[in-house]
Amino acid sequence: MSTFRRRVIPDATIARLPIYQRCLMELEEDGRKKASSEQLAELAGVNGAKVRKDLSYFGTYGTRGVGYDVPHLLHEIRRELGMTHDWPCVIIGAGNLGSALAKFGGFVDRGFSVVAIMDVDQSKVGHQVGSLTVRHEDELPEVVKEFDISIGIITTTAAAAQDVADQLVEAGVRSILNFAPATLDVPYGVLVRDVDVAIELQILAFHEERRALSEAEIV
């Protein structure tokens, strides 16, 4: 076992790396070879100091007086994010949302491919969703092994989500993206990220409400 301690990258930074990646991809498409921290910051909607600090965590890729080399920085961010290879994903729940995600082609250029979609509902099993055929939930262990899946996407009803999470963990999946409005309980070492659209709407509503109250107050 090595005593080398990998540099700790703050969570906040990790969450911004994909944004920088996207901006750099746009710059590269435009044929831009160089970009300063301020230009990158403008595109990413943050400030320059943050960009410089974020990038400094994983080495020195910029040139003072010039800026960053777009293709080089893009490559380094991709490497850091593990985008040098493809990540096979499985979607559990072939409903409205699960089908939309499965049909969506936009993940491929970010390094993700949905290789299987599954459901318990016998009336959905066997049906086509985009280029995939819905398989039965029971086959999860085999599917995970077959495609060496490391990411599971839960798009079932909230009631079924914990159950599905347990099955994913049992099958060896340690990264879960959960769209169901439920708090998942998983063992240590398994990472869950929640995407809850209703929560986002409620945060917007909270601020709208406050705005309305303040305006009423002033008038």
Ligand X SMILES: NC(=O)c1ccc[n+]([C@@H]2O[C@H](COP(=O)([O-])OP(=O)(O)OC[C@H]3O[C@@H](n4cnc5c(N)ncnc54)[C@H](O)[C@@H]3O)[C@@H](O)[C@H]2O)c1
Partner DNA sequence: GCAACTTTGTGAACAAGTGAACAAGCTCGG
Partner DNA sequence: CCGAGCTTGTTCACTTGTTCACAAAGTTGC
User: Residue from 69, 80, 121, 166 that binds its own copies (CB under 8 A)?
Assistant: 80
Q: Work out what residue 1 binds among its own copies, DNA, ligand X, none; the CB cut-off runs from 5 to 8 Å by kind.
A: its own copies
The site partner of 124 among ligand X, its own copies, DNA, none (C-beta below 5 to 8 Å per kind) is ligand X
Place of tokens 């303040």: 214
18 is an interface residue for its own copies by CB under 8 A: yes
Determine contact, residues 61/69, Cβ cutoff 8 Å.
Answer: yes
Work out what residue 92 binds among ligand X, its own copies, DNA, none; the CB cut-off runs from 5 to 8 Å by kind.
ligand X
Distances, alpha carbon 62 to alpha carbons 53, 76, 156, in Å: 12, 12, 45
For 128, phi then psi, to 5°, come to -90, 135
- 91-116 burial, b for 16+ CB within 10 Å, e for fewer? bbbbeebbbebbeeeeeeeeebebbb
Rg (CA), the chain: 21
Choice from 12, 29, 65, 96 touching its own copies (CB under 8 A): 96
Report the candidate in 138, 85, 88, 143 with the shortest Cα–Cα distance to residue 115: 88
Choose which of 48, 69, 75, 81 interacts with its own copies (CB under 8 A): 81
Binding to DNA by residue 10, rule CB under 7 A?
yes
What's the rounded Cα separation, in Å, for the pair 214 and 219? Answer: 9
CA distances 89 to 114, 142, 173, 174, 212, Å, are: 5, 14, 10, 12, 43
Is residue 217 involved in binding DNA (CB under 7 A)?
Answer: no
Number of residue whose CB is nearest ligand X: 95
For DNA, the binding residues in 41-70 under the rule CB under 7 A are 46-50, 52-53, 55-56, 60-68
Beta strand 128-129 pairing with 112-119? unpaired
Q: Which residues bind ligand X (CB under 6 A)?
A: 92-98, 100-101, 104, 106, 119-121, 124, 137, 155-158, 160, 163-164, 179-181, 197
Q: Which residues bind its own copies (CB under 8 A)?
A: 1-2, 4, 6, 14-15, 17-19, 21-23, 43-45, 80-83, 87, 89, 96-97, 99-101, 103-104, 106-107, 110-112, 150-151, 174-177, 181, 183-185, 191, 193, 195-214, 217-218
